Every structure is written in structure tokens, then in C-alpha cells.
Amino acid sequence: MKNYFLFFITLLVSFFGYSSNSTDTILDKLNDAVKNKQYYVRLKEERILNFKKIKSEDLSKEQEYNYNQALYEEYQKFKSDSAIFYIKKNLKIADELHKKELLNLAQLQLANLYSSTGKYRESEAIIKSINKKELEKSLLPNYYVTYREFYEHYNANSPNWGFIEQIGKYRDSLLGVLNSNSLEYKINKIQKDIYHKKFDVAEKELLSLLKGMKDDNPQFAMITYLLGNISEKTNKINLVKKYYALSATSDIKQAIKDNASQQELAMVFYELGDVDMAYKLTQSAIEDALYCNVQFRTLLMSQLYSIINTAYLEREAQRKTELQVYLLCISLLSLFLIVAVIYVYKQMKKVSRIRGELYETSQKLAELNKDITEANNQLQERNAQLSESNHIKEEYIANFFSLCSAYINKLENYRVILNKKATAKQFDEIYKMLKSTTLVDNELEELYRNFDTIFLSLYPTFVKDFNALLIPEEQIIVKHGELLNTELRIFALIRLGITDSVKIAAFLRYSLSTIYNYRTRGRNKAIVSRNDFEEMVMKIGLLSQKA
């Protein structure tokens, strides 16, 4: 009986230990996937490139339509702009073929892409132009999906109870036209159950669907995401991390840039206090959203990024303070060692002087040896004692130097350990800052690149609108690979309300006179009044925002 009880306890410990390790292993795989994200993107691009080698001019119009449809499916959650390009080609082909079904399919797909990229008015206009009564039965699921996702995208940016009701309405309509045995039907039914808080029913169904499914299945990420969502709503934190990590890893390996798992997982880690992991996942999610041009996710991630980035910077500042304290302690210990070495050196000189004096005394005693034999014997005994004392001091000094040397080596090893620890915690910038100035240049370049990317996401037509204010022959052409150049960056800061040349010079690391020269040159090239030029720059984007 006792042996059976011990076996049962061992089995329980093993089971819980395995569960913990399993989650840790999944998170390790996610970290590897994030690290190798570009590799998966490259595989996706190579696959698309190989497919594009098919010569479209050798195809009939129907075949070319299907060819473009295949490329749209490849790009849909990878590069929205490219997907839009091929759907627009299909619109033209469908119009030439006078096939209403093909035209409606392309319009629905374009409307869906427009809503994901933030073009809600264009998306809504396309959907409303389609008469549902005249729509082919086979396209009704596409119609309801497009409407449902339109309201999901709209609600993500402007939460509204009316939008949520519309999402539920179109999901119900979709369930009414789907085959009840299809996977799409089951997933939509599960989403409805989750909305109505039937978590046990939904979880059971999802686990049944997940059984035997591989992570390269297109629906794997969605199923694990929904499981993570249920676990989050039922406060099962370990399962939340597990399922969101599985979903995010699957998305990354399939080069799916329009995903939500990394965003959700970043917030989970932030709430758990793991700011480093939250920061890494947030950065990865923002990169994906910008790459795919999924506008509603970009806005959501920007809000989340500002929160997590603030916490991350505070953590970095705290670590930097701790590092400064460690360096101060090392400096004080080094100073103590220097004082100790000086003290030992003075003691050695003193011993050397005493030895010299003793030698002189010994010589005098030797001359008086015949007359004072007894005194000489006593002096010889004292001399022997002093020699022994000197020997002890020499040994002490040697040992002290050895200890000093060993301690210096320990300090050096400690410094190396600090550097390694900083590297392990992703403190490359701290290490490089201690070693050289290259880090500053790299960080500045990264800062400007991030500034350009975020600014152009806010004002995508800034370069075009700014050039419209200049005379044609003086308009600015940005070099290949650049987003903004120095002149555009100065006026981008002015557009953001930073009009003080001193602040602009400090941010861009130029002299004040250089900033004045750029601003003066810009006013001189203006097609409008010099006095009104910068005021009009500050109005760029206002009309589009009002629209």
C-alpha cells in the first residue's frame, strides 16, 4: 500500500512537471520563431516567386482570373497592397468576360481588403453596391463574412455596441448558409458560443477540432487563438500563454502578418510583469501589421506599444541605475586596492631601511666582537630574530600581492560576468555604449527610421502633399530605401507642432544654423506665400483626417 501511494505521488509530480515544461517548450519555440521570422518570410516570398514564373500571357482570361485569385490568397494576410493589386486585375477581367459571379466575388474580396487596411468608406461603398437578392448562392457566405469582418475591423478602432450587434447578426446569417459539417461553420458556431459565454461547450468543441491537427493547417492558429481567448476569460493563465503562443508560432511559420495572437500574448506578459517578453512580442506584432498594412491592427498595437514601451524604458532605467551602482562599488574597491598597494610599498621601503641599519649595526658589532664576545652573541641572536621577522614580512608581502592580484582578477571576471549578463538580457546597447560610439549612431539611425515609419503611418501622403507646396523643379524626390530625408524630417517635426529650431536641432543632431538654412530654403522654394508656408505644412493631412 505504501509503495502504491509513493508511485501515485511520483506520477502526479511528473505530470505537473511535464505540463510546466510543455508550456515552457512552446514559449521557447515561439522565441525561436520570432528570432527566425525573416527566414519564414523568405520562404513565402520564394514560393510566390516560383508561382509567378508562370507566364500569364499564355493563359486564357478565365485561367488568368484563377491565377490572380491564387496570388490574392497568397498575399491576403501577407501583403494587403499586393492582394489588392491582383483583385483589381480580376475586376477588370470579370468585367471583360461579362461574368457577374466573378465580378461579385472580386468586389467582395476587395471590400474585405479595404476594411482591413482602414479604407472603411471605400469598403462600405463596394458592399452596398452589391444587391444581395441578385447574388449567387455560392457567394452568400463571402457576402456575410465580408460584412461581419467589416464591422469587426471598424469596432476594433471605434468600439460601439451597435457594431457588435451587427457582427452577431451577420455571423448568424453566415451560419444559416454554411454547411453544418464544414470547419468554417463549426468555428463560427464556436465564436457565437464564446460571445454568449458558453465557454465549456466551445472549449470542448475546439479541443475536438484540434485533435490530430498539425500547426501548418491554416485553421490551427485560429483554433488555438480561440482556446487562448476562452482560457483568458476563465483565468487559466498557463493555458492562455500556451494557446496564444501556439497560435502566434503557427502564424509566424506560415508568414501570416495579419494576426492577433502576438498582441494578446504581449498584453498577458505585460500584466504578469514580464516586460521584456511583452516588449519583444509587441515590436514583432507592430512590424507584422506595418508590413501587411493592416491599419486597424497597427492602431491597436500603437496604443499597446506606448504602454509597454514606457514600462520597458523604466525597467531599462532601473537596470542602468543598478549597473552604475555596481560600477561605483568596483571603482571604490579599486581605489582601496591602490591605497593598499601604496601602503605595502611604503612598508617595504621601511623594512628595507631597517635592514640597512641592521647591516651597519652588524658590521660595528663584528669589529667589537673580540672585546665584547658576550654582547656579540646577544646581538647575533637579535639579528637572527630580525632576519626571521624579515622573512615573515617578505612572505606576507608576497601573499598580499598574490591576494591583490587574485582580487583584481576576480574584479575583472566580475566585470566580464556583468557584460555577459547584460548580453543575455539583451543589453547589447549598454555594452556597445561602454565600448564605442557605434551604438549611438545605430540607435540614432533606428530612432529616425522608427520616426519616419510611425510618422508616415499617421500621414501617408505627407511627401506628396509637401511637394505640392513647392515649385515643380524644386520638389523633393526621396532616395530608394529611404522614407524621409533630412529636409522632409525637419518639416515633419514642424507638422507635429515642434516649431522651435533649437528643439529640432537637438532631435536631429544638426547645428542651429543648419536648421535655419533648411527652413529658409524651404520657404524660398514654396509655391505659396513664404509667410504662410510653414502654417500650410502644419495643415497637411487635416483634410484627409476630416474625410
**How many Å apart are CA 74 and CA 47, to the nearest integer?**
9
Angle at the Cα of 468 (from 462 to 471), degrees rounded to 5?
Answer: 135
> Which residue in 289, 287, 285, 235 sits closest to 265, CA to CA?
285
pLDDT at 55: 66
At CB < 8 A and 24+ separation, what contacts does 147-154 make? 148/174, 149/112, 149/115, 149/116, 150/111, 150/112, 150/115, 150/120, 150/123, 150/124, 153/115, 153/116, 153/118, 153/120, 153/296, 154/115, 154/120, 154/296
Nine-digit cell string for 533: 508656408
> Which residue in 194, 185, 183, 149 sits closest to 167, CA to CA?
149
Q: Kindly report the pTM of this predicted structure.
A: 0.54
**How many Å apart are CA 50 and CA 293, to the nearest integer?**
24
User: What would the DSSP string read from start to end of 386-424?
Assistant: HHHHHHHHHHHHHHHHHHHHHHHHHHHHHHHHHHHHHHH
pLDDT at 437: 59
Nine-digit cell string for 36: 527566425
CB 285 within 8 A of CB 301: yes
pLDDT at 440: 57
pLDDT at 434: 59
**How many Å apart are CA 438 and CA 184, to the nearest integer?**
52
CB 50 within 8 A of CB 265: no
pLDDT 10s digit of each residue in the chain, 547 long? Answer: 444 444 444 444 344 443 444 888 988 998 898 899 899 889 988 998 888 887 666 788 898 999 989 998 888 888 889 999 999 999 999 999 999 999 999 999 999 888 888 888 898 899 989 988 889 999 999 999 998 988 888 787 777 788 888 888 989 988 889 998 988 998 899 988 988 989 899 899 999 988 888 888 878 988 898 998 999 889 988 998 899 889 889 988 888 887 788 888 888 888 888 888 888 888 888 788 788 777 666 666 666 666 666 666 666 666 677 777 778 788 888 888 888 888 888 888 888 888 888 888 777 877 776 776 765 566 565 554 445 334 334 433 443 344 344 446 545 664 666 566 667 665 665 566 556 555 457 667 888 888 888 888 888 899 999 999 999 998 988 888 888 998 999 999 999 889 899 999 988 889 999 999 999 999 999 999 988 898 999 888 764 444 4
pLDDT at 413: 61
Buried b or exposed e, range 487-497, using 16+ CB within 10 angstroms = ebbbbbbbbee
